[in-house]
Amino acid sequence: MEAEDAGDVGALRRIGRRVRWALVVQGAVVAVLGLTVAYGMDAHGWFGGSQSGFYMVPWLAMLGGLWRGAVGLVSR
């Protein structure tokens, strides 16, 4: 094994995968925005508070953002 093939980057390269940082950053931004809106709804009563049906939307945004970021970590 050569020195440049050692570590996580070498392992990803050997299986033909690479990290797409644009997707990872997009996912992180969406997840943080979802977290911020969920906190605002819970603590400050934004958009009807945590008792409204709209409270699911920020949680779905957080899950979607995490999913998009994970896809960016192991893409072809």
2-46 pLDDT, tens digit each: 555 556 666 666 666 778 889 999 999 999 999 999 999 999 999
pLDDT of residue 4: 55
The backbone region for 47, taken as left when phi is positive above 0, alpha when psi lies in -120 to 50, beta otherwise, is left
User: Mean pLDDT, to the nearest integer, of 43-72?
Assistant: 93
Q: Measuring CA to CA, how many Å separate 33 from each of 3, 8, 52, 58, 59?
A: 40, 29, 18, 8, 10
pLDDT of residue 2: 54
User: Mean pLDDT, to the nearest integer, of 58-74?
Assistant: 92
The pair of three-digit structure tokens given for residue 44, joined into one six-digit string: 């400050």
